[in-house]
């Protein structure tokens, strides 16, 4: 993979390109892939848009995180499982002083979750499910048999409170993997520090969502470009986002 900006280079060390400042007390990174015409999925899944380099970057972002934050819809569509790194990826986590496995945190309003799936392992760390007080109490009780349940917000999930709860646990590095509604809510609340966006050289046509969806924002969020990498006509963009609530 080569670097186009800021300083062109024929081959780069990906870990150096995506490392988070070790002195940063708290960091929320979001990762997405999009087609050139704005689609966030192909045939209903984001994985259909990527190439091998995109998978390497995505895996690296996971390896550098304390917690993986994902919406329930994305977890269902992408058949999520709890992350249990091995080999070089496990060694990387230990080298950076991270726990052997990242915590999985799933945001769900309706708790429509497959509790028998690999997203809810029996070993540690247990998956955390973040919901609101509006979710059905009987379903919450059933979920609590397979995961730790956190309730933040009355009618909808209070993302600010949820993220604060993760921070209080000492989880300093959050990797948000979508979906578009969760990402939009986090940006609107001023909770995202960084966006890593892979731009795929594909035109998929009408129909798919963008990387954000939901209620309109009163103003755009602004990003500062950190780097542009390239591999097989895919562009890998890293932006710092201004931490300011839009709502």
pLDDT digits (tens, 9 = 90+) for 117-132: 999 999 999 999 999 9
Rounded to the nearest integer, the mean pLDDT of the chain is 94
Measure CA of the first residue to CA of the last residue in the chain; give whole Å: 38
Q: Which residue has the tokens 């730790």?
A: 148
Parallel, antiparallel or unpaired: strands 67-71 and 173-176: parallel
Average pLDDT, integer, range 199-205: 95
Domains of the chain in start order, with CATH, are 35-234 (3.40.430.10)
Q: Which residue has the tokens 């948000």?
A: 176
Whether the predicted pLDDT of 22 surpasses 90: no
Average pLDDT, integer, range 207-218: 90
Q: Given this model, what pLDDT does residue 242 score?
A: 82
C-alpha span between 132 and 185 (Å, rounded): 15
C-alpha span between 46 and 203 (Å, rounded): 14
Cβ-contact 108, 135 below 8 angstroms:
yes
Listing from the earlier edge strand, what are the strands of the sheet with 2-5?
A: 2-5, 223-231, 234-241, 194-200, 27-35, 173-176, 67-71, 103-107, 128-131, 148-151
Average pLDDT, integer, range 202-213: 91
Its sign, for the CA torsion 106, 111, 115, 117, is: negative
Q: Which residue has the tokens 């602004």?
A: 222
Q: Given this model, what pLDDT does residue 247 score?
A: 61
Q: Given this model, what pLDDT does residue 246 score?
A: 74
Whether the predicted pLDDT of 240 surpasses 80: yes
State whether residue 172 is helix, strand or coil: coil
Whether the predicted pLDDT of 133 surpasses 80: yes
List b or e across 160-172, with b for residues whose CB sees 16 or more CB atoms inside 10 angstroms.
bebbebbbeeebb
Q: Given this model, what pLDDT does residue 45 score?
A: 82
Residue 84's pLDDT band (cuts 50, 70, 90): very high
C-alpha span between 91 and 87 (Å, rounded): 6
Q: Which residue has the tokens 């972002």?
A: 61
């Amino acid at each position: 993979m080569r670097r186009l900006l800021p300083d062109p280079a024929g081959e780069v060390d990906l870990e150096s390109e995506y490392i988070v400042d070790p002195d940063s007390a708290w960091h929320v990174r979001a990762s997405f892939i999009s087609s050139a015409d704005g689609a966030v999925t192909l045939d209903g899944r984001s994985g259909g848009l990527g190439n091998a380099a995109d998978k390497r970057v995505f895996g690296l972002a996971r390896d550098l995180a304390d917690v993986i934050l994902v919406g329930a819809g994305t977890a269902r569509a992408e058949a999520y499982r709890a992350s249990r790194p091995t080999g070089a990826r496990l060694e990387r986590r230990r080298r950076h002083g991270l726990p052997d496995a990242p915590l999985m945190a799933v945001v769900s309003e309706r708790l429509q979750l497959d509790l028998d799936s690999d997203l809810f392992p029996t070993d540690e760390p247990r998956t955390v499910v973040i919901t609101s007080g509006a979710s059905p109490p009987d379903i919450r009780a059933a979920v609590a048999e397979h995961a730790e349940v956190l309730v933040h917000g009355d009618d909808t999930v209070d993302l600010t409170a949820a993220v604060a709860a993760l921070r209080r646990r000492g989880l300093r590095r959050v990797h948000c993997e979508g979906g578009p509604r969760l990402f939009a809510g986090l940006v609107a609340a001023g909770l995202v520090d960084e966006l890593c966006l892979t731009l795929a050289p594909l035109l998929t046509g009408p129909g798919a969502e963008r990387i954000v969806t939901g209620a309109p924002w009163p103003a755009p969020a602004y990003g500062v470009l950190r780097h542009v990498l390239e591999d097989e006509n895919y562009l890998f963009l890293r932006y710092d986002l201004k931490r300011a609530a839009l709502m």
